[in-house]
Structure 1
Amino acid sequence: MEKQGFVRFNYDLSFATMQERKVIEIGCGEWGFRNLPMREHFEIARDFDFKWLEFGIGGDQTGRLSEFPESDEIAEFKALNEEFGIATPFCCIENDFTLADENDHLEVLEKSKKQIQAAADCGAKQVRLFAGFTPVEKVNSEIWDRMIKAFWDADQLCEGLELTIAIETHGGITFDEDESAHHFNSVSTDPESLTRLMEQLPPRVGFNYDPGNIKAVRPEDKNCCLEFINDRINYCHLKDWTRKGEGWVAVAIGDDDLDYGPLFENMKYDGVCLIEYEPLHDSRDGIRRSLDYLQRIEEESQVLKFQR
């Protein structure tokens, strides 16, 4: 709820006090644009004055570059950067390093490496990967060790390409007939597994902190596992989920009860946070609602400031 009277106080803050605020850069995530041609991603980002835009490779989505983009496709993408003056250092790649079959695992790893190279060719500086979507209780020691080795292998490639990896906090998902989502713990949403990952991953590998995804698995955890990975967050998605029947549907930040204010205040990460509005039918309105929510947080806070 917006606190009346507190807004005026914040607008009257002195310049010195404003200088002390924690400034958080806001950019635009790509998943909600997955059915839109790439050019429209840039047009929407421009209309909201975003300077930072996420893009994706593979996954058979209209709004992403192809599975293995050729040089002409990459050149066309980079031309959009120049035309719109919008940076795209963040690249999303689809993978699962927790597959039970070793041959399937190795195939995914090799594909991921090729796509990491393509991301670098596109000018990316970070690649968002997943740990995997196997239920955490089914990840045995053999699967775990393969997963850890895969990240060491991928990180070695990334280091040579001047890229860093961010593992998204993302549980596994099944869907009901009404398209509501049921989330279950994966290794990247389970606190014990996150602690093990922090200990065993290459030191350059961080986490794409998505509090909304953790809420959907662990709705009672108001800290959304922040205390477990705060030292290694190097990427951030902003969204929420709301109940639909027994499941969840993705919504804008501010549409449900996930309180981002304390998370922003306590998060050590000081890079760009990306609004990831997932529904397809009202992308612009969802982004606008997200920005309005951030404005409300800023007006009610004495320590936060958001800028695009």
Structure 2
Amino acid sequence: MEFRKEVEVAKVLLNDKVEETVVEIRYDPLTLQTSRVIKKTPPFVVTHGFEEEVESTKSWCPFCPERIESMVARDPELLNGELLKRNEAVLFSNIVPYSRYSFVIRLTEAHYLDISEFKKEHFEDAFYLIKEVLSKLGDGKYYISIGMNYLKPAGSSIMHPHIQTLVSETSTDYFARMDWSALEFYEENNTDYWLALLQKEKELGERFAGETKKTGWISAFSPKGFYHFIGIPEEREFFEMSGEQISGICDGIIRILKFYKSKGLNSFNISMFLADRLGEHFRTNINIVARTPFDKYYWCDVYFPKMFHDESISYLIPEEYAKELSEFM
């Protein structure tokens, strides 16, 4: 396992003074995909509120309690047209499916939550509903992932807090890269990549942020966005996870959201790649990144390097923000 990077120094003349900026091109230790860490952090500041948008979107939101029964799509195959419910969480079909089985889980009855208002139970209830629907799958190999976009900078078309689950017979591009690379690593080392990564990061100490129940948390060496953290659970397959393991994952997510709040951030993405049905070489892993703050005049942080070069840009140093997160663990 190698933490490889190249370093370039850019110089600009500004106000008769030469300013130097260090750019690190980092290689993901598993897939060798690159990202660029630019050591020049922009300010993350919410300058205008968006209360007007919260209220205006509430009037038509299909996920609000008064509309969800009549407006959401339902699965006719696995769920026979029924909705799955657990406390405030409700699972239903995505009206615009991304895969053979494409589900949405409404997390809360509240139409909008400040990033500090999410509770561990919101995610726990959603994950138990996902486990329930996965229990209804027939035999076969599937690539299963869980994702969340919160607020417009993260790509969410609906403000109401929700997550998604994709169950596909064909992997997404990055999922396939991880699968192939993890299999090669397993065959060479007789252990899965994520266990080896967590052990290595604990030894180095630079990017290890801390632990919640049965889950280790590190900052990604080659980040895919701002404040990219990776959760590595002790139990490998999502469907087989104990209540203690689910609790540890959800607790870690909430602690990271509180950390984001301390940084003035309010928008984020989550992606969980599940090991279920893939084999011993793969371990469920949780990825979470912050997005630029949403306000009346928010700006997007995905541009041509990501769209066309498939290369992420981060202005934040993983080794530095891992230490900062450790105070929340």
Structure 1 length-normalised TM: 0.29
Task: Considering fraction of residues, name the structure with more helix.
Answer: 1
**Rg comparison, structure with higher value:** 2
Structure 2 length-normalised TM: 0.27
